[in-house]
Chain A
Amino acid sequence: MNLGVEQAKAWIDQMNELFQQQKQYLTELDQAIGDGDHGWNMARGFQEAVDKISSNRYEDLGTLLKDVAMTLIAKVGGASGPLYGTAFLKMSQVLAGKQEGNEQEWIAALGEALAGLKARGKAQVGEKTMIDVWEPVVMFLQEKGQLLAREAAQLAQQKMEETKTLEAKKGRAAYLGKRSIGHIDPGSASSCLLFIAFAKVVES
């Protein structure tokens, strides 16, 4: 199965819909252990990204994903702008010049996004961040060698839930120390929505 420009656009659309629906929930998660703007930031950033890409025609995935990245970098405050911006920028580099990507190419793009996120945020698994969702999901896809998007989304959900038990070591939540335990990490929740949106597009 190949995913091309139209599917990538649908992915961004789908993510935007989920972020609009869940912005209150994401913001509540962030109010508990962060600065309380994650939902609004993601909703605003992805609305801007959709506005930008819906009016353009794209010849290749790289240009499309780069436009998404630059919009997030320009519009989203806090750490989520540079982090999600970096993820989409890395994907755009892997998929540059391609009208569509096969399963391996998309898995490679997600792998580069993960590498970029880890480098940018200097985070590892177990520190109660988006990496706690991204790394197991990407490793699962790499092991299977197929774009098993529904299973990946289920795994993302499970890993997001598991961030509840972790103590935050990065970002604003790290100031809370042990008091961060018992709360889902907001970045892992928005990352989970990204993989749910991906599964919806792959399955349709």
Chain B
Amino acid sequence: MMLGRAGLRYHLRQPWQAALAVLGVALGVAVVVAVQLANTSAERAFQRSAEALQGDATHRISAGTAGLDEAFYTELRRAGVRPSAPVVEGYVTTAGGEPLRLLGVDPWAELGVRDAVASAALAVDPGRWLSRGGMAVLFQPEAERLGLGAGDPLPVEAGGRRHELEVAAVIEPPDELTAEGLRDTAVVDLATAQAVLGRHGRLDRIDLVLPDGEAGAAALERIKARLPQGAVLEEAGEGAAALDEMTAAFRLNLTAFSLLALLVGALLIYNAVSFSVVQRRPLLGRLRAIGVARGQLFRGVVAEGVILGVIGTLLGLPLGFALADLLLGLVTRTISDLYFVLSVRSVAPSPGALAMAAALGVIASGVASAGPAWEAATVTPRTALERASLEAKARRLVGPLGIGGVGLMVLGGALLWGYGGGLVAGFAGVFALLVGAALIVPWAVRRLAIALARPAGALIGAPGRMAARGVAAGLSRSGVAAVALVVAVTAVIGVSVMIDSFRASLATWLDSTLSADIYVRAPAETGSVPPTLPEGLAADLAAVPGVASVGTSRRLRVPSEYGEIRLRAFDHGPAGDAGIVYKHRRAWAWSAFQAGEAAYITEPFAAHHGLAVGDSVSFRTPEGERRLPVAAVVRDYTTSQGAIYVSRAFYADCWGDGLINGVAVYAEPGADPEALIGALRQAAEGQGQALQFRSEAEIRARSLEVFDRTFAVTRVLQLLATIVAAAGVLGALLALALERTGEVAVLRALGLTPWQVWGLELSRTGLLGAIAGVLAVPPGLLLAAALTGVINERAFGWSLQLSVDPALLAEAVALATVAALVAGLYPAYRAARVAPGEAMRED
């Protein structure tokens, strides 16, 4: 009781120290909460949407982008396969430029499959559905957001074509699942969806509700017997699961970053609790002398740490909620940029995520206090009064700690490069590297500071020597702060180099792959089905003066042995394979590809499915299942799920249509791109579809813009980890300043001016920061190598060329120095204000 009271009063007398510890935990917990909430909110929104769209369906029939002939649905109904519901689904853009999901259904068929959608559709008089097209039913929240009511026009754009819809009815969502899962959705009839989305006569899928047991098995057999070529029958949840899996690596990456922030936060707690122990050593020694048991001291100090942790956690949870709002925007934008359209309006409270973050905060605090608590418990009354004994102990510890650190780094290296483990093993390796490097830091700080004392003395005299030796001598205080700073800066270097390498690899790839001068496609491509371009467009554009040749591309999703996969069919014309960046290939690859006798696969596809040149891939086409040998593995940064490339000739042979999604225009030498774009626009006029003409330079710039947006969330997390570390340094410096009041008073008495004290203190903190920055470079580069060469490949399948910009390393060292200097301003101010007389008075 008395011990607890003494501890409480100590923290009340040193409120800044306790406040910084609390801040460290709060920030660490907030980052974990924010990332977890952003992740779970995005995941929940996706799951709810998938559930609402799935309804009671047990199975679905689909055929990728090509879709199913609607006659097949009629055939199924005639065969008695009911309930069954056809769906045409896609994204359009509203007048405000926001994506809106168009869910095209047969209102009567929805009964028994998606009752909520049926009730929405049947809110409109059935006669109106039959007599008029272009009607849409909105749910109340979406109608409010768009500011629309029944009878209002709803202009939308899809694939460059404008369509005038009308809000036929606005209804309250019948349940919470519909409210959440079908937000941003307009329910329309099949014909309207087909017209707007350009899928005349086609269905995206047919949802089925099949009974369990033998009856269901029999029904399945009956349907399979009727399945057209290229179609696939699967369980209803499989598609959603595959989409969810796509983002798993991305979400795991974010989680790893949030744990990094918590690790730095835990170091801060260790810092704060260990200061409080160090400063109370004489008191603890006296307590031991009057009979307080070791266990009592140990429990008391751990309890203090846990209490600080609980307060920090309680503050961190709401802070995390606020931060989650910011992160959610970045996360959903990244998912929408990279994977699929995802709309999440608000952070969904997740008790699991909150409980996990709270537990981590409190446990990390307890674990972080255990070390200082042990120090407190083992203190002897005699050594407690000797500062030198503490520093000697710290000096003795740094060697073994460093050896342990080297061991951990070797283990981390083995996990990363030693054998082909998974992503989790990769992250374990990264953390082992980071913790290993952290353990070496105190030893290295001491060595470097001692080595720098002489040159610093030669440069600026006694203050330089004092600053350098002060860093080495105060290791028991400043060591942990230095560790926190090194960990944060290591992460900054590692992640920045990885992002730079990724960007450089992408830019190099874009330079090679954008071999045409102008690219034409439909604007505002949202959703998984890219809009097609008018027939004959390629020929019209090829005839424009100044055009040397044109190439075409077709992108679609097709069912395969690996689930639904992306297929890209193209014909680069005379440019041949100039725009393809090969990683591995057969000598005969291009000729076989052109002849439709071989396929290329992208790097991520090869990595995800364990394929290489010489293997084969098969997928379903309207002409039945086709298997092609893999003649090349190519670099492609457009999608982390990977894709298969086939020639246009092969596509025409299997799909038998002339649909294209893009045209690549190769200009004649000397042609002015701007003038040519004008001429191309003119040639394309009258097609009834708005088109987008972009120069190679514009595409390149936009691609890099999306890339930068993708990593915005990573940069935010990096910044937070650095702020947490800077708070640690501030705590350490304040504690040191408090202890060194007497020393500063002597210096002031000897004639050091307040400005010289400023200089001395800032030299010390700047030196600590600079040393931390320099020490962060080697582990930072190792981390970069791990993230670039191992984590990225395991998570996404991309191999990246490691490129290190020396300026970036210099920036990181400067960041550490500036962070330490900023953190050192207040302690230096305090030190400069030390009144020598007051500090030295011993009346």
Chain A complexes with chain B: no
B: residues with CB less than 8 A from A are none
